[in-house]
Amino acid sequence: MAHVTSLHSRQPDANQTAYEPTYQSNRPAYTITSMEQALDKVLKAAQARFTGGLSPIALQAAFADWALHLSSAPGKQLELVEKAFDKTKRFASYTAQCAANPNTSETCITPLPQDRRFTDDAWKKYPFNAMSQAFLLHQQWWHNATTEVEGITQQHENVVEFATRQILDVFSPSNYPMTNPQILAQTLGQGGMNLVRGWQNFLEDASRAQAGKNPVGTEAFVVGRNTANTPGKVVYRNALIELIQYAPTTDKVRPEPILIVPAWIMKYYILDLGDENSLVRYLTSQGFTVFMVSWKNPDAKDRDLGLEDYLSHGVMDAINAVEDITKATGIHAMGYCLGGTLLSIAAAAMARDGDTRLKTLTLLAAQVDFTEAGELTLFINESQLTYLEDMMWEKGYLDTKQMAGAFQLLRSNDLIWSRIIHTYLMGERTQMTDLSAWNADATRMPYKMHSEYLRQLFLHNDLAEGRYTVGGRPVAISDIRTPVFMVGTERDHVAPWQSVYKFKLLSDTDVTFLLTSGGHNAGIVSEPGHPRRHYRIQTKSKDARYTDPDRWMAEETEIDGSWWPAYTDWLVQKSGDPIAPPKMGANGHEPLCDAPGTYVFQD
């Protein structure tokens, strides 16, 4: 069996328990070279505390690009004047109709499908219907004004349109008690007690945030007790990962183990939540031996850990340990989100070097081409990345608050404004779920690794274009020959499914692509019996012609239910006949402690 020498760095003690690194990064540390450079970084880091990590220069450049091109486009200006006149006329006609029939259900503009702010019947009554319609018309005009301006770069146009939408959302009539009929009705019906409860909720949340505590309700979900509680053992540990081997639940198992590489942006146990919605528990029940990587939560001393460290001491060390323990001739490797991207790099490097240990490759909401990576690309340009790097330089890592804030901005109506309305104005707490509790258990990102990830993959798209190097030599996704199973989710704002689908353009192997309902997290945690779930699935052989994503979606039949059984059917087809389960830890990898291990508890 061929092995990859450049990636197979072994630890002196495979079962070391110390958290201090025993390895040295093979890339130079990110250091400052002068006092003047340090001054620049300190000042930008101080600025970032007030801007939430957003570069004001990048934002100004985008708006300047838009304003200058719009000012030199009289035709576009005339078009906007005509649209303003048309919308004014439509709104005047609509208000006249409302005056004649205050309870009319007619509208002069329909909100976008994902905009659920004005769906309640109370918004159909005057004057609230007029308020909502005026807001939507105003919002539509600004969309016309900020898009299709000739000459502006696409990235700047996206930034301006997004920023303008965020500003307008602040003034939505749904956000204020006197212009939201649902809040008014609740306030009148409860004598204002909803506002009293809301104020108490606000004080409680502010107090918890100040103290660094998790949100209300998360205490009901305890890691190792009622979440992340699938029985198992930590069978390997280094300074970056713990490797968990889960106990078998069937008399016999498939000879090829499953190794799961989750994203390190959050804790691993999204794939091992409760008893009913744990993918790990489901896979073991279907007769598979499952291993899970649990990443260390990095701190300031890990600032110089890079992507190659995560590759060598994360993915490759885990593969080595799984091979040692099971003596399997093939491994089913699964990667989720960033973990899937890293696993793709590892698979490409292994294929390049003749390492044939991967039997299959599964990628869950993972991208290898970042040219269409959704609204996250709004924050990816040279100015913004330099600003972000200066902010990380001060601490040595990207703080959890910066990451959470960026993701909340992408879905501000769902994650910011709706929460403010429901919790502080309606005075109601949304019941905490295990998925919500997991989402609050965030992790940090090392300075060097996150900078490399954003620059090499997001900004320059090096992996898709053949420039990404491992061990000093480039890797190519087209070198991968193992069968691939890919999962995209319909409402993914982190890894849009059309972007995930682009793997087909780069690969030279059989690819089974599955598109499931739900978002980046909820679509993956889609256990059998979960209501209102569906999926589409198709296998493309390496010699088949390419089908674009929109046509693919239109042609494939929608299947009701969870995608998990379809996935296990695919795995069974790629696996050998069942054998006796391997020992829990073996061959120099004796169990160190019970699952979920120790790294998952690091704050």
Single residue among 171, 186, 201 that ends a domain in this structure: 186
Single residue among 161, 186, 211 that ends a domain in this structure: 186
Residue-by-residue DSSP string for 63-115: HHHHHHHHHT-HHHHHHHHHHHHHHHHHHHHHHHHHHH-TT----SS---TT-
- Of residues 56, 33, 34, the one with CA closest to residue 44: 56
How high is the pLDDT of residue 19?
36
Q: Say what percent of the chain tops pLDDT 70.
A: 92
Report the domain count for the chain. Answer: 2
How high is the pLDDT of residue 27?
40
Residues 243 and 111 in one domain: no
Residues 106 and 245 in one domain: no
Instruction: Determine, yes or no, domain membership for 585.
Output: yes
The whole-angstrom separation of Cα 278 and Cα 330 is 24
Residues 252 and 157 in one domain: no
User: Which residues on neighbouring strands pair with residue 526, listed in sequence order?
Assistant: none
Instruction: Determine, yes or no, domain membership for 156.
Output: yes
The whole-angstrom separation of Cα 97 and Cα 78 is 29
Residues 366 and 492 in one domain: yes
What DSSP designation does 252 have?
S
* Domain limits for position 127: 56-186
Residues 145 and 246 in one domain: no
**Average pLDDT of span 278-304:** 96
Question: Is 593 an annotated catalytic residue?
Answer: no
Q: What global pTM score does this model have?
A: 0.89
**Average pLDDT of span 557-574:** 97
Residue 16 has pLDDT above 70, yes or no: no
How high is the pLDDT of residue 14?
42
How high is the pLDDT of residue 291?
98
How high is the pLDDT of residue 456?
94
pLDDT band at 26 (very low <50, low <70, confident <90, very high): very low
Q: Which of these ranges, 59-73, 88-102, 235-249, 266-280, has the smallest mean pLDDT? A: 88-102
How high is the pLDDT of residue 535?
97
How high is the pLDDT of residue 32?
57
**Average pLDDT of span 323-340:** 96
Place of tokens 């009622």: 226
**Average pLDDT of span 161-181:** 93
User: Mapping DSSP to helix (H, G, I), strand (E, B) and coil, where does residue 306 land?
Assistant: coil
Token pair of 528 as six digits: 């059998």
196 backbone dihedrals φ, ψ, rounded to 5°: -65, -50
For residue 312, the tally of other CB atoms under 10 A from its CB is 23
pLDDT band at 403 (very low <50, low <70, confident <90, very high): low
Q: What torsion, rounded to 10 degrees, do the Cα atoms 344, 268, 489, 556 define?
A: 70
Q: Which of 98, 108, 337, 593 is catalytic?
A: 337
Instruction: Determine, yes or no, domain membership for 363.
Output: yes
pLDDT band at 405 (very low <50, low <70, confident <90, very high): low
8 A C-beta contact, residue 281 and residue 230: yes
334 backbone dihedrals φ, ψ, rounded to 5°: -125, 135
One-letter amino acid for residue 576 of the chain: G
Sheet holding 593-594, edge to edge: 559-560, 534-540, 511-516, 484-489, 358-364, 331-336, 258-261, 290-295, 241-246, 232-237, 593-594
Arithmetic mean of pLDDT over the chain: 89
Token pair of 305 as six digits: 């850990």
The whole-angstrom separation of Cα 473 and Cα 492 is 33
Instruction: Determine, yes or no, domain membership for 2.
Output: no
Residue 227 has pLDDT above 90, yes or no: yes
Residues 272 and 327 in one domain: yes
Token pair of 554 as six digits: 């239109």
What CATH number is associated with residue 286? 3.40.50.1820
How high is the pLDDT of residue 478?
96
One-letter amino acid for residue 140 of the chain: Q
8 A C-beta contact, residue 160 and residue 62: yes
Residues 351 and 479 in one domain: yes
Residues 66 and 121 in one domain: yes
Residue 187 has pLDDT above 50, yes or no: yes
Residue 194 has pLDDT above 80, yes or no: yes
Q: Which of these ranges, 101-110, 116-125, 266-275, 446-455, has the smallest mean pLDDT? A: 101-110
Residues 354 and 488 in one domain: yes
How high is the pLDDT of residue 295?
97
How many Å is the Cα radius of gyration of the chain?
26
Instruction: Determine, yes or no, domain membership for 500.
Output: yes
Residues 175 and 311 in one domain: no
The whole-angstrom separation of Cα 326 and Cα 579 is 12
How high is the pLDDT of residue 20?
40
Residue 3 has pLDDT above 80, yes or no: no
How high is the pLDDT of residue 341?
97
Q: Which of these ranges, 3-7, 36-40, 492-496, 548-552, has the smallest mean pLDDT? A: 3-7
Residues 137 and 254 in one domain: no
One-letter amino acid for residue 132 of the chain: S
How high is the pLDDT of residue 389?
85
Instruction: Determine, yes or no, domain membership for 67.
Output: yes
The whole-angstrom separation of Cα 4 and Cα 311 is 12
The whole-angstrom separation of Cα 311 and Cα 484 is 20
pLDDT band at 283 (very low <50, low <70, confident <90, very high): very high
Instruction: Determine, yes or no, domain membership for 428.
Output: no
Residue 411 has pLDDT above 80, yes or no: no
Single residue among 127, 161, 186 that ends a domain in this structure: 186
pLDDT tens for each residue of 485-509: 999 999 998 899 999 999 999 999 9
How high is the pLDDT of residue 25?
40
Q: What is the 3-state secondary structure (H, E, C) of 419-481?
A: HHHHHHHCCCCCCCCHHHHHHCCECCEEHHHHHHHHHHHHHCCCCCCCCCEECCEECCHHHCC
Residue 157 has pLDDT above 60, yes or no: yes
Residues 333 and 482 in one domain: yes
**Average pLDDT of span 178-198:** 95
pLDDT band at 131 (very low <50, low <70, confident <90, very high): very high
How high is the pLDDT of residue 31?
54
Token pair of 562 as six digits: 């969870």
Residue 21 has pLDDT above 80, yes or no: no
Q: Say what percent of the chain tops pLDDT 90.
A: 71
Instruction: Determine, yes or no, domain membership for 431.
Output: no
Q: Which of these ranges, 3-7, 140-144, 240-244, 555-559, has the smallest mean pLDDT? A: 3-7
Q: What is the 3-state secondary structure (H, E, C) of 9-72?
A: CCCCCCCCCCCCCCCCCCCCCCCCCCHHHHHHHHHHHHHHHHHCCCCHHHHHHHHHHHHHHHHC
User: Mapping DSSP to helix (H, G, I), strand (E, B) and coil, where does residue 498 land?
Assistant: helix
How high is the pLDDT of residue 106?
82
User: Which residues on neighbouring strands pair with residue 364, listed in sequence order?
Assistant: 336, 487
Q: Which of these ranges, 175-184, 367-376, 492-501, has the smallest mean pLDDT? A: 367-376
